[in-house]
Structure 1
Amino acid sequence: PTCAFLAIDATHARDLANSLTATGAATTTVAAHGPVTGATLV
């Protein structure tokens, strides 16, 4: 399955990706960013 995680900044995203691979929860991770302000209720 594909999972997405929100991180507060690039360092947090990198730490999260490293933790997921170190624990074996994920075999491949990709950190991405975009010009977004966060979750929005619609």
Structure 2
Amino acid sequence: MENEGSECLTDAVTSFKYVNPTWEKVRVIIVEKGFGDISLL
């Protein structure tokens, strides 16, 4: 990812959903402790 902005995160999540058709079964998301704005997720 280029940065942690909302537009970039939206693109990342959209791409993840596209290549992982069972994404709705995801129960946990792990991010690094330095992640800027957790509310964007």
- By relative contact order (CA 8 Å, sep 6+), the higher-ranking structure is 2
Q: Larger radius of gyration, structure 1 or 2?
A: 1
The answer to which structure has the higher helix fraction is 2
TM-score band, normalised by shorter chain: 0.3 to 0.5
TM-score, normalising length from structure 1? Answer: 0.43
TM-score, normalising length from structure 2? Answer: 0.43
